[in-house]
Amino acid sequence: MVIAAKAIGAHQGYIYCRAEYPLAVKRLNLAIEQAKEAGLLGNNILGSGFDFDVEVYQGAGAFVCGEETALMQSIEGKRGMPRPRPPFPAVQGLWKKPTVLNNVETYANVPQIIQNGGAWYASIGTATSKGTKVFALTGAVNNIVLWRCRWASA
């Protein structure tokens, strides 16, 4: 998120987490504090002169808040309902300011792409589905895990 913020000149980020996951909220807040202590968030990140902070927002957990405009409505304290577009969030989003929304999985790919290049990332996966994909297995399985797969091209 810091890399994306630097690229667009943003100084504030939000992580939207459903309130019914208190352990996740606790761990996110701990990770934010640890990142601040390490100089990776806050003022003058790693001596770069760039300031960026992140805040965890606990949402009501409505499924509809997976839609970007509904998520922004929820963060603003309104009922999480989608709004018509235009205006698009990149023009007028959260608090009527330009807003970029991405999921954690998208942000997790950015450092790999920067380090290894776009061609490298595109070489992973299939012709129509590049890169890696996160998926989870839960329920009646022997080992409940979260996987990051690299699909093999056929």
Q: Each residue of 135-149: pLDDT tens digit? A: 766 778 777 665 554
The maximal CA–CA distance of the chain, rounded, in angstroms, is 50
Query: pLDDT per residue over 93-116, tens digit each?
Result: 999 999 998 888 888 888 889 999
- Residues pairing with 145 in the sheet: 137
pTM to 2 decimals?
0.76
- Residues pairing with 133 in the sheet: 149
Q: Which residues contact residue 96 at a Cβ distance below 8 angstroms, ignoring those fewer than 6 apart?
A: none
Give the residue ranges of the chain where pLDDT is below 50.
149-154
For residues 133 and 151, the answer to whether their CB atoms sit within 8 Å is yes
What's the pLDDT at 46? 95
The rounded distance, in Å, linking the Cα atoms of 71 and 92 is 14
